[in-house]
């Protein structure tokens, strides 16, 4: 195919994400806290091969007409993508959200929308793609990946999304530990849904504890109180474990963490992937890393203070290359 058939490329880069508290329960009107994870990134380069109507690559070609409508039919031709990523798939770090957000941003930039309008349309496209991938996505992953800032995310009883940047008083360290297990998000969502249907009273009580953990975490981050952050992460971890979302392969990681008084939880859908660790004494994270079996891959990152943005529209900001 001649190079002259291709439009000039547009590139977008986004970061991975981690959920600190509230995952799964967020689908049941409990707020959730999510943060970007520097050091894991996805870069998407998009160009169009001239042709008829807009056609997305498989397996998203069935969304082409809907995406074209979101873009006011400004783009034509076949979408060609070139992707490089250091975000592991099926690990709870938002690899699919990163792809969805980067694609939405690149399409909107290619279509020439002004920044504020581009943000709205790009997020609609990202949520559309993410929903197809996971079958029932809350929108939290695309929201935090788009904004690139710590956020509080919630759904009301009508399914409306509420997103706001959270206050973080000081740089707060966390450790991500790769369990080596990989899983599909929609399978874990189905597992939690079955638990809720079969044990509704128990799930309702767990949801109350999950909400309390989120509030404790917000308080701890805003006041630079490591003890409160530790308590929130620990509570969230035990709640998710009680729902069967902590794979048995994580048992040894948990044993080492608890011996060092390090709070531990799955992050994201669970069932494997990465474990999130926090200690009120940050030096214990290094001790845990050295104690882990088999030199498991770890990634240390910080959640730090940010300048709050205008949240009037609740529109996540993007991170572009």
**Between 173 and 24, residue with greater pLDDT:** 173
What is residue 23's predicted lDDT score, i.e. its pLDDT?
87
Is the confidence at residue 79, as pLDDT, over 50?
yes
Nearest Cα to 102, choosing from 117, 75, 123? Answer: 123
pTM, two decimal places: 0.88
3-state SS class at 164 = strand
Q: What is the pLDDT of residue 130?
A: 92
Convert the pLDDT of each residue in 284-298 to its tens digit.
Answer: 999 999 999 877 899
User: Distance (Å, rounded) from C-alpha 4 to C-alpha 99?
Assistant: 26
- B/e letters for 271-303, b = 16+ CB within 10 Å, e = fewer, are bbbbbbbbbbeeebbeebbeebeeebebbebeb
Q: Where in the chain is the domain with CATH 3.30.70.890?
A: 172-303
Q: Give, to the nearest 10 degrees, the angle between helix 140-147 and helix 115-134.
A: 140
Helices (H) and strands (E) counted in the chain, each on its own, are: 9, 9
Cβ proximity of 260 and 284 under 8 Å: yes
Task: Give the SS3 label for residue 21.
Answer: strand
pLDDT digits (tens, 9 = 90+) for 81-102: 999 999 998 888 999 999 999 9
- Cα angle 153, 206, 210 (rounded to 5 degrees) comes to 30
pLDDT, residue 120, reads 92
* Residue 268 near residue 179 (C-beta atoms within 8 A): no
Please say whether the structural domain 172-303 has been given the CATH code 3.30.70.890.
Answer: yes
> What does the pLDDT look like over 219-253, one tens digit per residue?
999 999 999 999 999 999 999 998 888 888 889 99
3-165: CATH number: 3.30.230.10
Q: Specify whether the CB–CB gap between 210 and 30 falls below 8 A.
A: yes
- Kindly report, as residue ranges, where domains of CATH 3.30.230.10 are found in the chain: 3-165
Q: For the stretch 149-181, what's the b/e string if a residue is b when 16 or more beta carbons lie within 10 angstroms of its beta carbon?
A: bbbbbbbeeeeebebbbbebeeebbbbbbbbeb
Q: Could you tell me what percent of the chain has a pLDDT over 70?
A: 93
Q: Which two tokens stand for residue 200?
A: 């509704």
pLDDT grade for 189, boundaries at 50, 70 and 90: confident
Alpha-carbon torsion (248, 153, 37, 317), positive or negative: positive
112-116, 174-178, 230-234, 241-245, range with the lowest pLDDT: 241-245
> How far, in Å, CA of 241 to CA of 106, rounded?
38
Query: How far is residue 112's CA from residue 7's CA, in Å, rounded to a whole number?
Result: 13
Phi-psi region of 239 (alpha: psi -120 to 50; beta: other; left: phi over 0): alpha
Token pair 């050295």 is found at 290
Report the pLDDT averaged over residues 209-221.
96
Q: pLDDT tens digits for 10-61?
A: 999 999 999 999 988 887 888 999 999 999 999 999 999 988 899 999 999 9
Report the distance separating Cα 41 and Cα 13, nearest Å.
7
Cα–chain center distance at 159:
18
């Amino acid at each position: 195919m001649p190079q002259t058939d291709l439009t000039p490329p547009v590139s977008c880069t986004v970061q991975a994400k981690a959920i600190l508290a509230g995952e799964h329960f967020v689908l049941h009107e409990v707020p959730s806290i999510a943060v970007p994870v520097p050091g894991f990134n996805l870069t998407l380069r998009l160009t169009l091969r001239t042709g008829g109507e807009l056609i997305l690559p498989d397996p998203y070609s069935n969304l082409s007409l809907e995406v074209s409508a979101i873009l006011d039919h400004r783009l034509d031709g076949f979408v060609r993508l070139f992707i490089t990523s250091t975000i592991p798939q099926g690990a709870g770090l938002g690899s699919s959200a990163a792809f969805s957000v980067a694609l939405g941003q690149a399409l909107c930039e290619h279509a020439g929308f002004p920044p504020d309008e581009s943000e709205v349309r790009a997020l609609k496209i990202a949520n559309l793609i993410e929903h197809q991938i996971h079958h029932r996505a809350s929108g939290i992953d695309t929201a935090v990946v788009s904004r690139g800032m710590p956020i509080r995310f919630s759904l009301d009883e009508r399914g409306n999304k509420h997103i706001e940047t959270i206050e973080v008083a000081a740089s707060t360290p966390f450790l991500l530990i790769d369990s080596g297990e990989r899983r599909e998000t929609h399978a874990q969502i189905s597992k939690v849904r079955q638990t809720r249907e079969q044990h509704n009273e128990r799930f309702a009580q767990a949801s109350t504890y999950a909400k309390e953990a989120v509030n404790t975490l917000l308080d701890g981050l805003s006041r630079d109180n490591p003890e409160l952050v530790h308590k929130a992460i620990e509570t969230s971890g035990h709640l998710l474990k009680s729902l069967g979302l902590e794979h048995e392969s994580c048992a040894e990681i948990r044993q080492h963490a608890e011996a060092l008084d390090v709070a531990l939880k799955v992050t994201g859908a669970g069932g494997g992937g990465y474990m999130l660790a926090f200690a009120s004494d940050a030096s214990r994270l290094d001790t845990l890393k050295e104690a882990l079996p088999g030199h498991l891959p770890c990634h240390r990152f910080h959640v730090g203070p940010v300048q709050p943005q205008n949240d009037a529209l609740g529109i996540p900001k993007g991170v572009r290359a």
